Structures are given as C-alpha cells and as structure tokens.
Amino acid sequence: MSFNEQNILIVDDDPVVLKSLKDLLAIRGMDADTAIGGREAIVCLDQKDYDLVLLDLQMPYVNGHDVMQHIRENNIEAYVIIVSGETSFEAARDACSQGAYNFLRKPYATDELMITIKNALKEKSLEKQNRLMNDQLRESERLHRYLVNTSPDIIYILDPDGKFTFINERIESLLGYSYKELIGKHYSMLVHQNDSEVARYVFNERRVGDRASRNVEIRLKCKDDNTPRFFETRTLPIELSSMGIYKNEDNPKKRTYLGTYGVARDITERKMAEETINFQAYHDLLTNLPNRALLRDRLSLAITQAKRNEEMLAILFLDLDRFKNINDSLGHVVGDELLQQVSTRLKSCVREGDTLARFGGDEFTLLLPNIAKGQEDVTKIAEKINHVLRDPFVIDGNELYVSASIGISIYPRDGANMDTLIKHADIAMYHIKDKGKNGYQFYSKDMTTPYFKNLSLDSGIRKALDNDEFHLMYQPQINIRTGEIVGVEALLRWDHPEHGPITPAEFISFAEETGMIVDIGKWVLRNACGELKRWRDAGLPEIRMSINMSARQLAEKSIVKDISSILKDYNIPGHCLEIEITENTIMSEMDTVIYKLKELSNRGIQVAIDDFGTGYSSLSYLHKLPIQTLKIDRAFMKELNMKNTGNSIINTIVAMAKGLNLNVIAEGVETQQQLDYLQEINCNEAQGFLFGKPLTADVITQILIQEPFAFTDSDSDRRGYPRTH
C-alpha cells in the first residue's frame, strides 16, 4: 500500500498550522483531511478510518488528550503523532503512554516531521498487512477445521508412542467419545481385542506414499453406553488408511519420524449389506430357511463327523402333494404364503442341530445328524411331520389342505456320500408319491430309479456337439430409461434326440464337471459372435452380446487368445462382447482370474458379474476387478412383489454399484411393479420375461428392425413394454 492511499487527519486549533501541514504533505503527494479543534477531530474519526492522526495537544474545549482518550476508548486503530507546542518531557511521556506513536515539538523541523510520518505510515501499513494475513490464516484454519470435523471419516494424528495428538469431532458421533478425552490416550483403547494385531501394523504405520497402509478393515469399540439397559460394548467396523509423518521429509538423512496420520472410514453399512447378501446366499428368501448350498455344506460336515464317530444320520426329502394345483388355481401369492406357513410347522418338528432346508419349489430337506436308534428315531419325526401338516392352513379365507410325501435315506446304509444319499432319499420320495402320496418311505436297494432321473447325460452330451444338437436363444436386455434394447444374453439349449429340450440347469454343471464345457463354450462364443456379425452387417442398431462363461472355461490357458481371435474373425469390436461370470468363478482362483479379466478388459471386452448376491459376496473386492456390470440375481426380484420394499437388498446393491460406477442389470424382471421400482431407484438395465423370454435369432432380428417400436402387446412371447422416451 503506498502512502498516498493511506488516510491522514491533521488536527489543530490554528488554521494556519493546519494549512501549512496540509500543504507540506500535498507537495509529497499525500492528501490529508483537516479538523479544526478536538471536537471536529472526533467527528472525523467516527466517520472514517484513518491510518495516521497529526494531533495538537493544547486546544480549547476538547484538547489532544481528550481526542487520544476517544481513540483508545473506541478502539480506533489510527497511529497518532503529537505535534505540540508543549516542550516538557512529561508532556511527551504522557502522550506516549496514552498510546501516541511519536511526539514532535513545534516548531518542527520539516525533515524530521516527514521521516516520522513516513515511518508511522510504513509501520501502519505493515501492521495492516499482518493483520490481513492473520485473518486469512485464521479463516483458512477455520475452513480446514470445519472440513476435518465435518468429514464423514475419523481423522487422527498419533505421536511416535501411538498416542493421539489430534482427532476430529467425528469420533463423538461414531464411537461416543469426546475428542478431548482421547488426546494423549493410546490408540489401543479403541481397538477390538481380536483386531489388535492388525491394528498394531496400521496404527504404527511409518511408510508413506503407495506403500502405506490402505483400506485395512478393523473393528473399533464404541464407548459403553451408560444407560443400564445396554451393557454390551458395541463395535464399529472401519476401513483404515494411514501413513507416517516426518520432519525434513525431503532429506532422508535428517528425516525424523513425528507420528502417524490416519483416516478411518465407517463401513458399517457396507458390512451390513455384505452380511445380508451372504445370508441370502445361504438362505431361501421366501422362508428364510437354509437353502440347497447351506444344506450341502452342513451335510458334508455331518457325514465327516458320522464317519469319524461311527454314527448314523438321515436325510428326509419332502415334497408337498398337490402344491402345484394350489399355486395354479389360487396364484403365487397364496402359494408363497402357504410355503411360509408350512415351513413354520416343519420347524416345530426339528431338534436343535437338525437342518431344515428349502430345496426349491415345494421341496424341503431335513438333515438329522446323529440318530442313535436309526430307523426308529427317524420314523417318529416323519410321522410327526405328517401329523403337523394335517390341520388346514387358512390363507385369505381359504382353508387349504396339504400333505407331504417323504423319502428317507440313512447314512451309511443307503450311501456313503452326499449325492448318493440325496439321490436315494429323492428316489424313495418318488416311490411314496407313486403309491398314493402322503406318507413316508425309507429307501431300499430294490427301488427302481424313475425314468427321467436316469437320463444319460454322459454319452449324450459327448455326441451333442457333433450331432448339432445345441442351439442358442437370445434374451433382450433393456435400458430402463429409454426402453431400447442395449444387448442380448446368449442362452444355450440342448435338443436331446430322445428326451427333447433340456435346460442348461440340467446339464451345465455336468458339462463343467466333465470339462466338456470348454468345447461347448467355444461353440457358444463362435455362434453368438456369428449371429452378432449378421446383425451388424445388416446395419441393425448396435447391441452388446452377453455370453455366460464358467470358471472351468476361464481357467483355460488360451482363453484370452481364443476370445480375441474369434472377435477378430467376425470383425467385432471388444466393447460389443460381454462375458458373464459368477462371483464363485472369481473366488475360485482370484489372482489368475483377475489377470485374465484385465487382459480381456484391455481388449475392450466387458465383464459382468452374473447372479450377483447369491455367491460369496465381498463388496470390497469389486473395485479391484475390471468389471463394468453387476447382474442382480433374479431371486431378489421376488422381494419386490412383497410389501415394504423401501430397504430392499436391490436398493442397496444399486446404490453401491453407482458408488463404484458400475452398470447394473436386474435379472428376472417379470412384472410392471418390479420395473417401476427399478426405475425409481435408477437401476440402469433390466432383463426378464416382462420384456421377452429367450428368443430365436430371427425374432431378435425382427425386433431390431422394428426398433424403436419393439415390444408391442401383439406378440405373446414378448410382453408389452411402455417406452419412456
């Protein structure tokens, strides 16, 4: 700031002095205001901010001392230079002790006066700048503090001994501690005892940059709630990233470790979502009973134990009689309610340690480990089950009667391994059904296997490729917002010469076990790409081709090369092909799978996680993978037909996927209600019977030609879908 921008006030009761001082300053480029006498000076000071006041002391009525007092009392920040006729030392001392910057005697030497004025203005200007800088600093610190304290994460600094020197206020709402009470305390007081080992590494992190700890999951303890009803210590799962802080950071020789800086993110919601998804992976959504996967898990454990302890165990395979009639005549809602009520009654028959599972449809399985008296114990339970189902079920005012046919196999008598035991219980069940239903039947060796269970897949599937018995169907995938077809999923069909059409559910796992899926998979890839090329060559709208790929196929060394060369042969750009894999495929051999997916992704090929939510789900692995799309399993679509869908798992998955910038497809969309909900929560794409069952390539061609008026009500296979352009 230059001198002529600063405001100067000259105060004197003598107009001659005023004028001469004003002129003196004007010659040097400084414009000053004047006040004749103390009273006018006070008026001026109250109206304008002055940097400097040249003040006479002896003035009538309001003298210089009064003006100084006014300046002090009103915290006016002007510097004051006394220019006075008073010559005594005391006068000078008094003036300075009242806060004057300097004291000059009249008559003054011009040079001395000018030097004093310039010094005062310079000092004043510096002081102003200083204050400005301080204000800015304080403001910036306030902003940082605000950012740190309102951050959703816990942010802290530890000293080299692991004690908190800083922690933001977020700790209060997350753990219940006040940040003040933690300063000086050791971090270990917050860590759950089972996580203390991991915590030691992260909290003592000395590394910086890429090598520092990132996203390590540990649990922190919440402060005990003082209300007597809550004694348990709650814990909070967090994801912790930390790094060392150093003095003389850039000079490795002089570098001294000052402590560790860290950010802890609350991941409770993610953990809860994972737990829910993992629960769903092993449970049936409708009845909350263990599902087939969990039953197999428990059964394999129970067989191992029975073998070791030379005990027996039993499997009861239970199928409701005439359930299909009820479902068909009264509808799915009543059918679902009936299954729920049946499962409640069945639960009342089982002991702790038994596993009652829903195998799908109207089939339940009961595992009874350790049956001491063998057949006698099991008979009692089977009779009890038949008994509890005897009373009618009342649903929507209807009285419904159901009975169950139960087939039973016993380890080790009827089989030494899981699959044999299940198969034999199943066969026994068909025998009781044949005999007129309602009752139970133990397996015996002379029972014949029902015809359709005997289907010889083995020899058949080997010839199927050569005999051209496979074909592909294509199911449309729709952009929910625009209603356009964005892709199709290729689904394999086997036309068995004797048994007719066989669905993938019946033969894929068999083809995987025998390794034949590798050749079949290549066939699928080639044919699907061939079809896509025909659509592209015909100038139809560009769509994506999704292809299912088993773990076994991805395990092939040459898989990346094979896919690339097929794409090249058909002149198809990478982004038009999507590979669908399941979570279990990823988990099977994480490292090599990730490597191969990256290779595919580098070639532009898209990767989707199929049946998401039904396998082992750890959402934290998602951001490590080069995937573009999550396909929400159709099992979750069912819950959208029930009440209270606000907190649906689908909602959680869609929100998470958005956070990770992934495309989400909902599978198995069958009703408008489901679609409305998906639209509401901003799910990107949908696939399901509402838009079309898997269709032949020719029908897809017709739809693509008709675009954008696809999906009219006229086609019975393809349900009407209102476009929402």
Q: Give contact residues for ligand C2E (rule: CB under 6 A).
A: 475, 491-492, 503-505, 508, 517, 521, 524, 548-550, 580, 610-611, 634, 667-670, 687-689, 694
Which partner from the list Mg ion, ligand C2E, none does 16 bind, CB cut-off 5 to 8 Å by kind?
none
CA distance 470 to 645: 40
Report the Cα 408 to chain-centroid distance in Å. 44
Kindly state the helix (H) or strand (E) to which residue 53 belongs, with its residue range: strand 52-55
* Closer residue to ligand C2E, CB minimum distance, 327 or 687: 687
Q: How far is the CB of 272 from ligand C2E (least distance, A)?
A: 26
Residue with smaller CB distance to ligand C2E, 203 or 721: 721
C-beta closer to ligand C2E: residue 312 or 586: 586
Strand-strand pairing, 79-84 and 52-55: parallel
x/- mask, Mg ion, residues 484-513, rule CB under 5 A, reads ------------------------------
Residue 175 to residues 103, 156, 194, 220, 239, Cα–Cα distance (Å): 62, 14, 18, 8, 14
Query: Which x/- pattern over 599-618 shows residues binding Mg ion (rule: CB under 5 A)?
Result: -----------xx-------
Distance CA 312, CA 94 (A): 109
My answer on whether omega of the bond before 504 falls inside 30° of 0, hence cis, is no
Which of residues 284 and 610 has its CB atom nearest to Mg ion in the complex? 610
Name the β-bridge partners of 607: 579
Residue of 218, 230, 342, 219 whose CA lies nearest to 289: 342
Q: Which is nearer to ligand C2E, 280 or 548 (CB)?
A: 548
Q: How far is the CB of 503 from ligand C2E (least distance, A)?
A: 4
Angle between helices 457-464 and 504-514 (to 10 degrees): 90
CB of 687 to ligand C2E, least distance (A): 6
Q: Which of 693, 691, 720 is nearest to 486 (CA)?
A: 691
Amino acid at 625: L
- Position 28, amino acid: R
How is 21-41 classified by DSSP, letter by letter? HHHHHHHTT--EEEEESHHHH
Output 179 or 616, the one with its CB closest to Mg ion: 616
Cβ proximity to ligand C2E: between 12 and 611 the closer is: 611
Q: In what order do the strands lie in the sheet with 235-247?
A: 164-167, 154-158, 256-266, 235-247, 216-221
Q: Could you say which residues in the range 564-583 bind Mg ion, by CB under 5 A? A: 580
Q: Which residue has the tokens 């396998």?
A: 615
Binder of residue 491, out of Mg ion, ligand C2E, none (CB less than 5 to 8 A by kind): ligand C2E
Q: Cis link prior to 392 (omega < 30° from 0)?
A: no
Residue 689 binding result from ligand C2E, Mg ion, none, given CB thresholds of 5 to 8 Å by partner type: ligand C2E
- DSSP state at residue 223: P
Comparing CB distances to ligand C2E, the nearer of 70 and 693 is 693
- Please, what is the minimum distance in Å from the beta carbon of residue 548 to ligand C2E? 4
Compute CA distances 723 → 393, 478, 542, 707, whole Å: 42, 10, 19, 11
Q: CB 320 → ligand C2E: shortest distance, Å?
A: 20
Cβ atoms of residues 581 and 555 within 8 Å: no
Q: Kindly state the smallest distance separating residue 472's Cβ from ligand C2E, in Å.
A: 7
State the minimum distance, in angstroms, from the CB of residue 370 to ligand C2E: 36
Q: State in angstroms the smallest separation of the CB of 584 from Mg ion.
A: 12
Residue number with CB closer to ligand C2E (134 or 503): 503
Whole-Å CA distances, 281 to 93, 126, 647: 89, 70, 18
290 binding partner (options ligand C2E, Mg ion, none; Cβ < 5 to 8 Å by kind): none
- Report the nearest approach of ligand C2E to the CB of residue 517 (Å): 6
The partner in contact with residue 497, picked from Mg ion, ligand C2E, none with C-beta cut-offs of 5 to 8 angstroms by kind, is: none
Q: Does 685 sit near Mg ion (CB under 5 A)?
A: no
Chain residues binding Mg ion by CB under 5 A are 548, 580, 610-611, 667
